[in-house]
Amino acid sequence: MLKNKRALVTGSTSGIGLAIARALVAEGVQVILNGLGDADAISALCDELGATYQGANLMDAGAIAAMMAEIGPIDILVNNAGMQHVAPVEAFPPEKWDAIIALNLTAAFHTTRAAVPGMKAKGWGRIINTASAHSAVASPFKSAYVAAKHGLDGFTKTVALELATCGITANCISPGYVWTPLVEGQIPDTMAARGMTRDQVMNDILLAKQPTKQFIQPDDVAALAVFLCSDAARGITGANYAIDGGWTAE
Ligand code: NAD
């Protein structure tokens, strides 16, 4: 059903983005990968998926503009690249704040503004933004991430309204904790910020948020993304889908 569609999935060299890329490829989509990482590993991924790769650093608006010009019109845009930093607000490094806002929020603006004219010309498009449970609720020590993800939710709703009559939908997917390098990487800082052991962070901080007491699987997030790309989801726009084991129901 998604055959002959072209998708850019940002941050697709790892974690959730890679799962979304794999799931779209399985639906017949031509995927353009983006993200950081080892060149040989990325080349192997391209071979495996029959995908191409564009390695723009999404913290650089000029690099995003060049990437979007190079890849040309796309049908599906998945803004997924993201990063995290965990620290009390008074100790939060300003450069980390700037980086998180640039990657988790501003990059989605730059890719979207470049992708929309091509989608409008075709009268069909899907914009999916990987937000987070932190687009709806906050946690201590994640000021930049929570601000960026709340912002991404607002940005997505605005774009959805602007494009509502154009055959283009824009939605957020908001996972709870998914076991990926991004979550693994924040454990040491959380241990330091809260004076906890690794097990305490895993059970008392991360899984404590999720009534299911299970991490979300990247493939489950990817399945939701595929559904939002389907024609059955044509009436869903401006939505923010929680996939968080019940976290934000509390
Ligand atoms: P991840 O660390 O596995 O993947 C992040 C991706 O972003 C990688 O491909 C990385 O190379 C890419 N990236 C990082 N900096 C980049 C840059 N400057 N330019 C281009 N690409 C860059 O993380 P993940 O857990 O898969 O996270 C993906 C998205 O899901 C993020 O937006 C994250 O905030 C969101 N999210 C994750 C979780 C979770 O629990 N893992 C929960 C909610 C939301």
Active-site residue, 145 included: yes
Class (C level, CATH) for 6-177+216-244:
alpha beta
Residue 110's pLDDT is 99
Residue nearest to atom 41 of ligand 1 (CA): 178
Residue nearest to atom 3 of ligand 1 (CA): 15
Helix (H, G, I), strand (E, B) or coil at 31: strand
Ligand 1, residues 20, 68, 83, 152: which to mutate, most atoms within 8 A of Cβ? 83
99-147 pLDDT, tens digit per residue, is 999 999 999 999 999 999 999 999 999 999 999 999 999 999 999 999 9
**Phi/psi at 171 (5° precision):** -140, 160
CB 104 within 8 A of CB 83: yes
Residue 182's pLDDT is 85
Selecting among 53, 145, 177, 241, the annotated active-site residue is: 145
H or E segment at 78? strand 76-79
Residue 52's pLDDT is 98
Residue 218's pLDDT is 97
Give the pocket of ligand 1 (CB within 6 Å): 11-17, 34-37, 57-59, 80-83, 103-104, 130, 132, 175, 177-178, 180-183
Cα 181 to Cα 45, 79, 83, 185, distances in angstroms: 17, 18, 10, 6
**11 Cα: distance to centroid of ligand 1 (angstroms):** 6
119-130 pLDDT, tens digit per residue, is 999 999 999 999
Domain boundaries, the chain: 6-177+216-244
Rounded percentage of the chain residues whose pLDDT exceeds 70: 100
Confidence of residue 211 (pLDDT cuts 50, 70, 90): very high
Residue 140's pLDDT is 97
Residue nearest to atom 21 of ligand 1 (CA): 35
Strands 76-79 and 240-243: unpaired
Confidence of residue 1 (pLDDT cuts 50, 70, 90): confident
9-56 pLDDT, tens digit per residue, is 999 999 999 999 999 999 999 999 999 999 999 999 999 999 999 999
